[in-house]
Structure 1
Amino acid sequence: MQDESVYYDPYDFEIDANPYPVWRRLRDSAPLYYNEKYDFYALSRFEDVEKALTDFGTYTSGKGFILEVIKAGIRLPPGNLLAEDPPLHDIHRGLLSRVFTPRKMAALEPQVRELCARILDELVGTDGFDFVADLGAIVPMRVIGMMLGIPESDQVAIRDAGTRRHQLTEGEAPAPTDARSTAQPFADYIDWRATHPSDDLMTELLRAEFEDETGTTRRLTRDEVLTYTSVLAGAGNETTRRLIGWTGQLLGEHPDQCRELAADRSNVPQAIEEVLRFESPSPVQGRVVSRDVEHHGGTIPEGSAVILLNASANRDERHYTDPDTFDIHRRIDRHLAFGHGLHFCLGASLARMEGRVVLDEVLKRWSSWEVDRDNSVLDHTSTTRGWLNLPVVTS
């Protein structure tokens, strides 16, 4: 029996502003939680979430990975990897894994560093800047736009449209958007690339040959390329923007650790891992169970929606010592910020590289900064959590 005094609502802005006390109570007294209003179950402990993420046969993704999509019964088009199960998932992931290799991401680093340096050099000598508006909303957009082959003149409009689609109205489960309509802005680029190939990801997708689930060797259809492009553009913009914003906030509020990093930037990669653990940009993952599942003396019935709270798992004291303390020296065996198992984030190496380069370039110029909390704005979405604006004062 769960503690009836514990309440978790993913659409409650007050909870979302600081969900960690609620998630701690879930872990302690309702490790298998049921929300009657929205009809979903939730798992919050590290061990439970990690196992569920690995058990893709039981915790399935084919009916969606976002709660409102699952409850609406909407089937997303092929190519949305997070909403696919094997064998389709494995085929589509195999195609993209040719591009998102650590080696290829490392090859991008000089361009990312040059971009960051150009942005930050213009801010040197000012009183401060906005970690999101000036960095988090710019760098990932430029990088994924460059990879896909989207002109810089169109990148802002595409990014902002994606941001608006994900934003929540307080206290309401949003109406799911039509995935095909969200992909439509990319149609003209794909049609152009079909006759004007270039050295970009869209061209690679248009030319790629693979063996589909029927055993047929073929190329992707136009609609499949459209879906891939839309998914990559959204994922490439949203989560890395959150990572950069959380980095600015956490180091701004831990000035001693910030100054220590500035003095020895070799610890920047480890600091980024602690940011990912402490404030996971993608904090919840939706699944549907394919059979009855037992947890903590209760049962999740077959066909039920389940939220896997990976951000809660990353603060579980059963797995981490003093998990609510931000510590850039923490030795992390593993965290679940990028998921785990079959759906481990394909762009993890890209996000890590961008986060590391941004922080490294900031620390070259400033050893500490102060967060302007009065003018900071937290964004509320059902897929990510992070800052919409995070102004800082530099000295």
Structure 2
Amino acid sequence: MDSSSQAGAVYFDPYQPEISTDPYPVFRRLREEAPLYYNQEHDFYAVSRFEDVERGLQDRETFISGKGAILEIIKAEAEFPPGVLIFTDPPVHTMYRQLLQRMFTPKRMLSLESKVREACVRSLDPLVGSGRFDIIEQFGGQMPMHIIGSLLGIPEQDHQKVRERVDSVMRTEVGQKMDAGDTAYIGEGFEDYIEWRAKNPADDVMTELLTTEFKDETGTMRKLDRDEVLTLVNVLAGAGNETTNRFIGWMAKVLAEHPEQRRQIAENRALIPAAVEEILRFEPPAPHMSRYVARDVVVHGQTVPKGSAMMFLVGAANRDERRFENGETFNIHRPARSHLSFGYGIHTCVGAVLARLEGRTALDEFLKRFPEWDVDLETAVLSPTSTVRGWETLPVVVR
């Protein structure tokens, strides 16, 4: 802990369980007392106000992603293979993103609604009458992986195995940093799928990644090489599972704590889209994103030197009352204003349309079966990761 905290100044440490369990009191103090914060122990800067986070995520010349978007990776100067979209800058990022956008079009994602609903029904129907279940293990961990796995072309019998491998990489020991060496995992475990699809093409994203021709950053028309395909499949499998899995846990907790608003949604399903956005704003699955500082920059009158690491506190920005009136309050009737839970700028989540569709459908199908529920926080367990925030175990008691 740095000396300023001992003098009563605000202290933020993303690895400290006492803070990450409920970071919002610290986030509030950061916004008011230290809009540019420096942590001496871990050597990083952080901004917490909505305007600063939004501006920083858009400023790709100053705050670059090519050295990583996770603090531990930036500090370790880790190397990673080509294809890790969130760890690239233009023009390479532009190339990969344009390629993926051809595969993740809004029209194609919205056409998956019936499959998403079927996946929800398959997970939720067996839970009816049980009285109590773990919403993460029995719903959040199943439906999103089924959808992204099917979209990619991963055999259904392997979905659980893939999810467990991705989770194991994200998970850390309580209070510990991610091992930056784990970036080497990217691509491992998918070789057999890729080899099979190369010989047996189908109507899935994996086949498209193998066969689509595109113009790369040098202007050359080519296809992705095998390493790039392996990396992109793994990245998409992880991202496609994480966001919605975490969202479903926060959906259960937040609506259990706001039963009157939950009942309003149950009675008027037209409120579901706004409720999903408010849950995402209120409890973003990724509460912070980091960047390498490529050039000196002045923030709130102080110079942040080139070579520093900057953490953008999305979870703090999403509750900034300069942007959202009564931002610390959960309110599904809040006037629509964009939040930062899917990022901002060129790195806005390419799967946001699908994640929102999954969130809306999950809430709708859950309310059909379980209009009233509580969560057992005494036995719930937050997942120990330093990159995303959500529940590893969240027992739900239905009435």
Using the size of structure 1 for normalisation, the TM-score is 0.97
Q: Structure 1 residue 134: deviation in Å? A: 1.2
> 1:231 aligned to 2:235?
yes
Counting aligned pairs with the same residue, the percent is 54
> 1:20 aligned to 2:29?
no
Contact 1:54 1:342 in 2 (8 A): yes
**Secondary structure of residue in 2 paired with 1:184:** coil
**Secondary structure of residue in 1 paired with 2:38:** strand
Which residue of 6, 9, 15 corresponds with 1:11? 15
> 1:73 aligned to 2:109?
no
Which residue of 309, 314, 331 corresponds with 1:327? 331
1:58 is matched with which residue?
A: 62
Which residue of 151, 154, 160 corresponds with 2:158? 154
Query: Compared with structure 1, are the counterparts of its residues 227 and 340 closer, same or farther at alpha carbon in structure 2 (3 Å cutoff)?
Result: same
> 1:388 aligned to 2:392?
yes
1:283 is matched with which residue?
A: 287
**Secondary structure of residue in 2 paired with 1:349:** helix
**Secondary structure of residue in 2 paired with 1:392:** strand
User: How far does the alpha carbon of each residue in 1:288-307 deviate from its partner, in whole angstroms, 9 at most, with x for none?
Assistant: 11111111121110111100
1:368 is matched with which residue?
A: 372
**Secondary structure of residue in 2 paired with 1:280:** coil
2:363 is matched with which residue?
A: 359
The 2-side partners of 1:84 and 1:26 are apart by 29
Letter in 1 for 2:295: R
Letter in 2 for 1:132: I
User: How far does the alpha carbon of each residue in 1:33-77 deviate from its partner, in whole angstroms, 9 at most, with x for none?
Assistant: 111111110011100000001111111000000011101111322
Query: Compared with structure 1, are the counterparts of its residues 120 and 173 closer, same or farther at alpha carbon in structure 2 (3 Å cutoff)?
Result: closer
The 2-side partners of 1:138 and 1:322 are apart by 35
**Secondary structure of residue in 2 paired with 1:122:** helix
The 2-side partners of 1:56 and 1:315 are apart by 24
The 2-side partners of 1:11 and 1:265 are apart by 39
**Secondary structure of residue in 2 paired with 1:9:** coil
The 2-side partners of 1:385 and 1:250 are apart by 14
Letter in 2 for 1:282: A
Structure 2 portions without partners, runs of 5+:
none
Letter in 1 for 2:365: E
Q: Structure 1 residue 79: deviation in Å? A: 1.1
2:98 is matched with which residue?
A: 94
The 2-side partners of 1:192 and 1:121 are apart by 33
The 2-side partners of 1:139 and 1:275 are apart by 19
The 2-side partners of 1:69 and 1:134 are apart by 32
User: How far does the alpha carbon of each residue in 1:198-236 deviate from its partner, in whole angstroms, 9 at most, with x for none?
Assistant: 111100000010111111100000000001001001101
The 2-side partners of 1:357 and 1:348 are apart by 14
Contact 2:85 2:96 in 1 (8 A): yes
Task: Kindly report which structure 2 residues correspond to 1:1-395, keeping only aligned pairs within 5 A, or say none.
Answer: 5-395=9-399
Q: How many residue pairs get matched?
A: 394
The 2-side partners of 1:290 and 1:331 are apart by 37
The 2-side partners of 1:160 and 1:203 are apart by 24
Q: Structure 1 residue 194: deviation in Å? A: 0.6
The 1-side partners of 2:216 and 2:182 are apart by 25
RMSD of aligned C-alpha atoms?
Answer: 1.2
Contact 2:78 2:181 in 1 (8 A): no
The 2-side partners of 1:64 and 1:234 are apart by 16
Contact 1:67 1:286 in 2 (8 A): yes
The 1-side partners of 2:282 and 2:316 are apart by 9
The 1-side partners of 2:251 and 2:385 are apart by 19
Letter in 2 for 1:95: L
Contact 1:165 1:177 in 2 (8 A): no
Q: Structure 1 residue 193: deviation in Å? A: 0.6
The 2-side partners of 1:336 and 1:195 are apart by 41
The 1-side partners of 2:19 and 2:336 are apart by 27
Contact 2:81 2:186 in 1 (8 A): no
User: How far does the alpha carbon of each residue in 1:279-336 deviate from its partner, in whole angstroms, 9 at most, with x for none?
Assistant: 0001111101111111112111011110000111001111111111111111231100
Contact 1:180 1:227 in 2 (8 A): no
Letter in 2 for 1:300: V
The 1-side partners of 2:256 and 2:164 are apart by 26
Using the size of structure 2 for normalisation, the TM-score is 0.96
Contact 1:128 1:392 in 2 (8 A): yes
The 1-side partners of 2:323 and 2:205 are apart by 39
